[in-house]
Amino acid sequence: METTSTQFEQPLDPGGGVMRNEPNGPELPVPALEDLVAQKLIAAREKDALDVLLVAASADFDRQRLALSIEARDVEVAVRRGLFELFGTARSGRLAQLWRERTGEVLAEDMLARAPPRPTRSTSRLQDWFGVSP
């Protein structure tokens, strides 16, 4: 897979990012992980909840870049709404159910939670990743 770097004209621009292609295939724009997370939080679809969880858990996830991208596009309210939807999905147990449906496995406790005695264990990891509380 070949890659060429391009500049973002605006953060969260799906046409920006890195251009990638399969051999002999067309180049397609691939957004940065942080922009993808923001787009999925804005959409606030249940089917995106697992994607957000997995990407945010990645070592490559840059919380500062996410914050700067969100601020530059003035989409803080929409992203925060989506984040609260994600918190609700985690707290209700629906996120664990979605994980089980998709993977056939039980969602590992440490995917979302650090260790007790954190009062809202099911969302503590999400709070740490995104720097907000529901």
Contact 54, 37 (CB under 8 A): no
Q: What is the pLDDT of residue 9?
A: 39
pLDDT band at 3 (very low <50, low <70, confident <90, very high): very low
**91 compared with 17, residue with greater pLDDT:** 91
Provide the residue ranges of all domains of the chain, joining segments of one domain with +: 32-130
> pTM surpassing 0.85?
no
